Structure 1
Amino acid sequence: MTEARLRDQICRLGRSLFERGLTPGSSGNISLRCDDGGFLVTPTNASLGFLDPALLSRLDADGRLLSGAPPTKEVPLHGALYETRGASRAVVHLHSTHAVALSMLPEIDPGAALPPLTAYSVMKCGCVALVPYYRPGDPAVADAIKGLAGKYSSVLLANHGPVVAGDSLEAAVFAIEELEESAKLYLLLRGLNPRYLTPAQVNDLVATFGLTLPEQGDEHDATSC
């Protein structure tokens, strides 16, 4: 895909996210890795609903601005996901309401922020990690992401919002939308003793779709997310 088409795709999907209320005002940011190793990134203080393809920040492989407007201050967050998840081609970060609310609940397990609610929550999001609160743009959030060692494609930033890496921009957008809907389901069902997917059902998804859950081979139960 040409860079011009990638720029248009960022703007089109950003507008879709904004128009459906998934990230308000000038919140949220998107990045996409280019074939030359550089990146296209949404600018700082830009609304995802009103992006200009020509003003997207073009960075080189070392994160230096080559053209366009100054990039989002969350570049270190995006860079940490690309560094630890080498196959990722896109990263999307939102301030979606239900995912933010989920990140603030005291019972959330940092290693498995969501139980296996639905087949698609497991298939699209995998296990979801929760990292502690850092102010927006704090470079320390990159260290927290790197501490996950690339095991998670979906991460909640406490009191802030979700960030998802994908092998394409479309995949990352679909996954973060699924994460928001799964967080909404969790909040609706909280305290009602809902029926989650069983370990056998999760294992069937893993085997059928070739999923890799972070807890497999670790001390956690592989079906806890």
Structure 2
Amino acid sequence: MTDFIDSPYVKNLAKTTENLYRHGWDERNGGNVSLRLTKDEVEAYAGTDKVLRQITIKFDASELAGKYYLVTGTGRYFKNMIEYPERDMGLVRISEAGNSVDLMWGFNDGGEPTSEFPAHLMSHIERLKKNPNQRVIMHCHPTNLVAMSFTLPLESKVFSRTLWQMHPESIVVFPEGVGVIPYMCPGTNEIGEKTANKMQDYRVVLWPHHGVFAAGDSLDETYGLVETVEKSALIYTTIQAQGGKILQSITDKDLHDLCKRFDLTPNPEFLSAAETATV
């Protein structure tokens, strides 16, 4: 039986974190990722049948009792994860009581899950209600999107419409838009609760002046979601650097045509049939 360290889950998470670092979205020990695995997926690998130790978490995750998560560690540098996966990530199982996790693999130097793990679990709970195939929560710091949070009103509609108008793929990839919460101190249950509440309607939630939380069915899908949002933010930033004067743009009719072509329903609060003005 193959050891868990050689599983595609470990390899794909390490590759994803390296890509996040290379993009400049997870400097130093910034950012964190959690990937839900099924019991069958875990038990197919050697070295995952013993509880190595219990780790307390500051959140009641009993709704997720028995579920497994491969999660990045607190204080870990994403640039190192591909070389030291068994040190910098861990496989945990949510306890029945919900206030601790069983470490099944990894964190072999005594490490623990990211300090944002309670926030991850809150968002996992909400997204699983919307999509039973949901697996990933990803937190990172996309540079241009964060920059926009200093110059645009912190409103979901403003951000969503602005990003949609920057590139045709935007409304196709995130037709529900982007959720925006107020600036809050990271690493707290309060910001986790606010984010999870937004996750009821959005797969990407902007933390102003900081970064994003994103959800998806796979590492690739979630990474691609953030990548698309950030590409639109880069185009917006480039326009501003060129003087900000827009001579032509993607119109509401264009956005409706895109949704019709790809059989999508855009957020009706942000793009109704009656809307003709641009942001």
Q: Offset of 1:20 from its aligned partner?
A: 2.8
Give the distance between the partners of 1:174 and 1:140, measured in 2 at CA: 27
1:35 equivalent in alignment to 2:68? no
Give the aligned partner of residue 171 of structure 1. Answer: 221
The answer to whether residue 135 in structure 2 is matched with residue 105 in structure 1 is: no
Shift of 1:212: 4.2
Task: Find the counterpart in structure 2 of residue 50 from structure 1.
Answer: 80
Distance 2:154 2:248 in 1: 18
Deviates more, 1:64-73 or 1:129-138: 64-73
2:198 partner SS? coil
Q: How does 1:212-223 map to 2 (within 5 A)?
A: 212-213=265-266, 215-216=267-268, 218=269, 220-222=270-272
Q: Which amino acid aligns with 1:54?
A: E
- CA shift, 1:39, in A, is 0.9
Matches within 5 A, 1:137-216: 137-148=187-198, 150-190=200-240, 191-193=244-246, 195-213=248-266, 215-216=267-268
**Alpha-carbon distance between aligned partners in 1 of 2:121 and 2:224, rounded to the nearest angstrom:** 20
1:65 lines up with 2:65 in the alignment: no
Q: How many Å separate the matches in 1 of 2:186 and 2:201?
A: 23
**Counterpart contact for 1:112–1:129, Cα < 8 Å:** no
Give, as a single letter, the amino acid of the residue that structure 2 aligns with 1:200: K
Tell me, yes or no, if the aligned pair for 1:38 and 1:63 is still in contact at 8 Å: no
Shift of 1:128: 1.0
- Share of identical aligned residues, percent? 24
Relative distance call for 1:25 and 1:161 in structure 2 (3 A) is same
Offset of residue 183 of structure 1: 1.2
Q: Choose from 120, 125, 129 the match for 1:78.
A: 120
Give 1 or 2 for the bigger CA radius of gyration: 2
User: 1:197 Cα deviation (Å)?
Assistant: 2.4
CA contact (8 A) 1:89 1:168 kept: yes
Contact persistence 2:70–2:92 (CA under 8 A)? yes
* Structure-2 separation of matches of 1:170 and 1:201: 28
2:172 is matched with 123
Deviations 1:144-183 (A, max 9, x none): 1233251111111011102211111100011111222211
CA distance in 1: counterparts of 2:124 and 2:247, whole angstroms: 36
User: Structure 1-normalised TM-score?
Assistant: 0.86
- CA distance in 2: counterparts of 1:70 and 1:208, whole angstroms: 46
User: Unpaired segments of 5 or more residues in structure 2?
Assistant: 40-66
- Superposition deviation, residue 189 in structure 1: 2.0
Residue identity opposite 2:168 in structure 1: A
One-letter code of the match for 1:197? I
Match of 2:28 in 1: 25
d(CA) in 1 for partners of 2:27, 2:250:
32
Distance 2:205 2:193 in 1: 13
**Which consecutive aligned stretches of 4+ in structure 1 deviate over 6 angstroms post-superposition?**
none
Deviation of 1:110 (Å):
2.8
Amino acid at match of 2:117: V
